[in-house]
């Protein structure tokens, strides 16, 4: 039997991590005008501090933090949990949200002549709503409440895509909405089937009740397939990726940074929770090999398509699809209790972290390029290195991590994947990692080569060094992640489900 759950001494921090962005969102909406921006910017450092304290507590305690909401234990009540994976995702979320908010001060400032404007109010309110949804996803312990969090994410993310209000952005947002709703329906159907079989939706209790032969029945297998398909649609894993490139490429740069760095990671996070936490008995060769095959296809196909793009933001969007593929290589490598499973698990989480930082920096940098010179066509970037050196450095450092070159965080993730592939004898994934690195080198070269070439690029609008510094700091953080101490890898293992 599963031991009775109880609230950890520092468990109240988990509630605060959810409440802080919710309170900020409500206050921003009610106060409106310039107050919305001020409230959001004031809340962001508080949320970042909370996330850091939670990560420190998880590491210090050596186990997950738990908070039982209302003192009603599952299955009647709801539990919030933070393990190592949750903790580092909370920190990454708070960091990227704060960077995107700071970078969004200029484009989403209320004009001096107006008391309130539609786009700024929507941006600051939705950004905090998206943050709250992410916090619930990373801390939630109930499959239905996670569904609610996913819907909250969808209805905060979709409007961010079309803040500009043009026909192009509206079309991209509607396509995103259709895929997201399809994913939600499939996920909810799977949740209903699991509840019918087990009588609970709490992740810990559900895993206990499904353990053994009852956990491998046809109903559970169908539920797992439905939920996985729905979450893959939200993650935009190839071939369910059609919504992501137009949505990320046409959204405002701060929104693109958050969508690419964080929102697609939320559904990936739940796929990890489902297969490694709820249904480890189903994590057999066939299911894991299918996820690995889809991930491999994404790395190779999306990487090749990225090479053919003519626009900077569209190239970065397709590179997101390719980098997401690496995340799914962890499934066939981390499944089971093998000597290499811990390395594969750490590789998946490190890839999620390094990609989030690198891609947020690159999207912010691409937005600055488009704003400064009036377009983001790769053919028109000659001389960009002289005109905007910090922005080009941000693009280069972010690309360094995407390629997996040392000493970046992307290198650590891909090196761990290579080690796990070799140790497990699954050489095909090692070949995919190496081929993906070569493709990434190709499309990063297409960005950097013209930017560093000679030319007299005309900068139409000054953007300020501070905004360039934000993009550069995120890209540099992705590289500095490669210097993280071994204690970070130990933190990632806390709470990892081992069959």
CA distance 108 to 50: 26
Contact 248, 363 (CB under 8 A): yes
* pLDDT tens string 188-213: 999 999 988 888 888 888 888 887 55
- Which regions of the chain are under pLDDT 50? 1-3
Tokens 């939200």 belong to which residue?
234
Tell me the per-residue pLDDT of 396-447, one tens digit each, with 9 for 90 and over.
999 999 999 988 999 999 999 999 999 988 899 999 999 999 999 999 999 9
The percent of residues in the chain predicted with pLDDT above 70, rounded, is 97
Tokens (6 digits) for 107:
């484009």
The whole-model pTM stands at 0.93
Calpha distance 248→262 (Å, rounded): 12
Q: What is the pLDDT of residues 306-352, one digit of tens each?
A: 999 999 999 999 999 999 999 999 999 988 777 888 899 999 999 99
* pLDDT of the residue at 212: 59
407 preceded by cis ω (within 30°)?
Answer: yes
pLDDT of residue 216: 59
Structure tokens at 286: 């066939």
The pairing of strands 78-82 and 65-69 is: antiparallel
Residue 67 is inside which H or E element, if any?
strand 65-69
User: What is residue 286's predicted lDDT score, i.e. its pLDDT?
Assistant: 82
* Domain boundary assignment for the chain: 1-141, 283-499
């Amino acid at each position: 039997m599963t031991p009775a759950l109880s609230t950890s001494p520092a468990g109240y921090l988990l509630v605060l991590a959810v409440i802080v962005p919710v309170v900020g969102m409500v206050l921003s909406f009610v106060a409106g005008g310039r107050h919305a921006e001020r409230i959001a910017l004031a809340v962001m450092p508080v949320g970042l501090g909370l996330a850091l304290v939670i990560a420190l507590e998880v590491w210090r305690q050596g186990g997950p933090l738990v908070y039982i909401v209302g003192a009603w234990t599952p299955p009647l009540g709801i539990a919030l949990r933070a393990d190592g994976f949750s903790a580092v995702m909370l920190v990454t979320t708070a960091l990227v949200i704060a960077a995107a908010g700071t970078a969004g001060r200029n484009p989403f400032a209320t004009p001096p002549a107006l008391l309130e404007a539609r786009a700024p109010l929507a941006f600051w309110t939705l950004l905090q709503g998206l943050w709250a949804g992410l916090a619930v996803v990373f801390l939630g312990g109930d499959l239905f409440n996670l569904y609610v969090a996913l819907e909250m994410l969808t209805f905060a993310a979709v409007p961010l895509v079309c803040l500009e209000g043009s026909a192009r952005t509206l079309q991209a947002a509607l396509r995103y909405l259709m895929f997201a709703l399809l994913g939600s329906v499939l996920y909810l159907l799977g949740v209903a089937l699991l509840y019918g079989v087990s009588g609970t939706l709490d992740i810990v209790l559900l895993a206990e009740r499904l353990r053994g032969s009852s956990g491998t029945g046809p109903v559970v297998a169908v539920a797992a397939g439905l939920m996985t398909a729905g979450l893959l649609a939200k993650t935009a894993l190839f071939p369910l990726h059609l919504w992501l490139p137009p949505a990320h490429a046409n959204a405002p740069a701060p929104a693109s940074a958050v969508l690419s760095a964080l929102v697609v990671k939320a559904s990936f996070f739940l796929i990890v929770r489902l297969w490694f936490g709820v249904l480890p008995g189903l994590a057999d060769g066939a299911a894991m090999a299918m996820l690995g095959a889809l991930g491999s296809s994404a790395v190779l196909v999306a990487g090749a398509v990225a090479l053919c793009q003519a626009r900077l933001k569209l190239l970065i969007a397709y590179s997101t699809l390719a980098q997401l593929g690496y995340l799914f290589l962890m499934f066939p490598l981390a499944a089971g209790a093998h000597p290499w499973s811990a390395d594969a698990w750490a590789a998946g989480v490190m890839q999620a972290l390094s990609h989030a930082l690198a891609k947020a920096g690159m999207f912010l940098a691409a937005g600055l390029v488009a704003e400064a010179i009036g377009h983001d066509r790769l053919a028109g970037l000659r001389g960009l290195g002289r005109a905007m050196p910090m922005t080009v450095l941000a693009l280069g450092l972010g690309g360094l991590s995407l390629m997996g070159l040392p000493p970046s965080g992307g290198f650590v993730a891909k090196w761990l994947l290579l080690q796990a592939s070799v140790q497990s004898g699954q050489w095909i994934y090692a070949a995919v990692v190496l081929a993906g690195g070569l493709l990434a080198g190709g499309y990063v070269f297409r960005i950097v080569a013209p930017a560093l070439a000679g030319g007299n690029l005309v900068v139409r609008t000054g953007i300020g060094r501070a905004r360039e510094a934000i993009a550069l700091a995120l890209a540099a953080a992705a590289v500095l992640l490669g210097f993280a101490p071994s204690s970070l890898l130990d933190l990632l293992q806390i709470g990892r489900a081992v069959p």
